[in-house]
Amino acid sequence: MSYSKELRIASLAVQRATILTQKVFHEKVKGTLSKDDKSPVTIGDFGAQALIIQAIKYNFPEDEVVGEEEASTLREKPDLTQQIWELVKPTKLGIDKEDSEVEKELGGPLQSPDQMLNAIDAGNSAGGAKGRFWALDPIDGTKGFLRGGQYAVCLALIVDGEVKVGVLGCPNLPVDDKAPLSADISDAGAEKHQRGVLFSAVHGQGATSQPLGTDDLLPHQSIHMKTPSIREATFCESVEAGHSSHNDQAMIAEKLGITKPSVRMDSQAKYGSVARGAGDLYLRLPVSATYVEKIWDHAAGCLIVAEAGGVVTDAEGKDVDFGQGRTLAKNKGIVATPKSLHEEVIGVVKSVLSAKQT
């Protein structure tokens, strides 16, 4: 199956949602509408989820969605619902066109606050190993989003437990696939580059990047992981120490002979950066024995890296299993590398983690 329609609808839906998230950042995070620190993320999350699920349900009405949000709290807060609706209502592709054909492909704008709330609540699938469902993270990397750094709008189609389509919208990553990955990429250092990139992949068909737009999809190009020597590799990790073990990762880098400092950034933008060769390794090692990853935090990124020529496993070298419901219940940690380096990296990861247990 080519999944060509699924890829197009997912890409357009993510692109439309990034328009909303950027609007939320400029109007709310910068303080022009709200002083509540939590409200911009809340509004962006709910609004982006509503827009994406509406597009999915219009085109694939039988498909389920595993979404991060649900609308029960909104139904009890009409003022917050109205704030979100005022931003969602005018958000569309081809805003300068009176009758946008691209917007029609997504089912057109949402028509009412009730329709918006119902769309949000349609993200209640339990997932699992059988059937078709979409995994959605409307704003991945909320702290990056709040400071104007890296965040991503993430959408993946999973069929019988296997990721078939993955799309990442990264509004603050440089468009240029060759832009170097440096410690300031997350914030002001990216200003010298044109920003806003859409990564996508279909299982067995490779991975691509293209600039984010505001109408139809812009031209894309194939992306591929680099295969550097391990000592020259650049590795990415999460900004938040609560998301991955910085100490373990530093020890692994040292044992591998990596001398460059790690690049810390929020969200699945790390997967996109590694997939296009701006970075080389992504390590996300478990911070506790009980922490379980959510599928929407990894599904799209894992496929994009794999289709760009990489390997993604957990910290034990096992395949990442997206058929266990809403979480990666059978996996601990994430290791994404070029194929040629994976065996060496996993060997060091295992030795460092096993040494902690003795």
Residues labelled as active-site residues: 45, 142
Q: Show the tokens assigned to 4.
A: 């060509």
DSSP secondary structure letters along 164-230: EEEEEEEEEEES-TTS---TTTTTGGGGGS-EEEEEEEETTS-EEEEE--SSSPPP-EE-------G
111 to 13, 119, 241, 327: CA distances (angstroms)? 16, 11, 41, 33
- In this structure, how many other beta carbons lie within 10 angstroms of the beta carbon of residue 191? 11
CA dist 155 and 129 (Å) reads 18
Task: Identify the burial level of 292 via C-beta atoms within 10 angstroms of its C-beta, where 0-12 means exposed, 13-18 middle and 19 or more buried.
Answer: middle
Considering only CA atoms, which of 193, 185, 282, 277 is closest in space to residue 227? 277
CA atoms in the 13 A half-sphere facing the CB of 346: 21
230 to 258, 282, 309: CA distances (angstroms)? 7, 13, 16
What single letter denotes the amino acid at residue 81? T
Q: Would you say 204 and 42 are in contact if contact means Cβ atoms under 8 Å apart?
A: no
Q: H helices within 258-338, ranges in order?
A: 269-275, 299-307
